[in-house]
Amino acid sequence: MTPNHTASHTVAAESLSPAAFAAFGDVAERPIDVRRRYLPTSDDRTEDATTFSFWISSAARLGNLPLPITTLERHPFSAQTFIPLGSSQYLAIVCDAGPDGLPDVATLRCFIAGAHQSITFARNVWHHPMTVLGAAMEFAVAMGMTGRQDDDVFVDIAGDVRAVMPQSA
């Protein structure tokens, strides 16, 4: 697949909050005084995604931004939840789909998440593979699977597309 947008594009990182991320999925934060935090989108899956999968995944480690964005992925049959198992910050990079269903990098957003924040990418949301800013870290990952090759859809991003620290940082 080829992406919608191949020109240069830069997106400044921003802090992750449930409100800012709502169009792309859910955020659950772990305050010590709250026993349970729910991710309502985590069970969003089609009838074909009958197998629940739960695994541990290592994330790519990046010392600092900028980050060239060369690949995006989506999961058409199920939402995908990530629960950090370490103490590093990580990136949640997302964008809308264009009219042809491919990523529209002009809508790219880059969120800096804390280790106390779990996220669910809603079904069909284009997102970058998990990338950690600090020490190496693993995630517990959960999603529904169909068992077909198209459970995961990847596209290469052409052009100079990157996430950077905000001007004020």
Based on the structure, what is the number of domains in the chain?
A: 1
Range of the domain at 129: 9-164
123 assigned to some structural domain: yes
pLDDT at 108 over 70: yes
Neighbours of 124 (CB within 10 A): 15
92 assigned to some structural domain: yes
pLDDT band at 121 (very low <50, low <70, confident <90, very high): very high
pLDDT band at 138 (very low <50, low <70, confident <90, very high): very high
Smallest Cα–Cα separation from 74: which of 117, 104, 48? 104
* Average pLDDT of span 144-148: 92
Q: Identify the pLDDT of residue 113.
A: 96
169 assigned to some structural domain: no
63 assigned to some structural domain: yes
pLDDT at 64 over 70: yes
* Average pLDDT of span 123-136: 94
Q: What is the CATH number of the domain that holds 144?
A: 2.60.120.480
pLDDT in tens, 9-63: 899 999 999 999 999 999 998 876 777 777 778 888 999 999 999 999 999 888 7
2 assigned to some structural domain: no
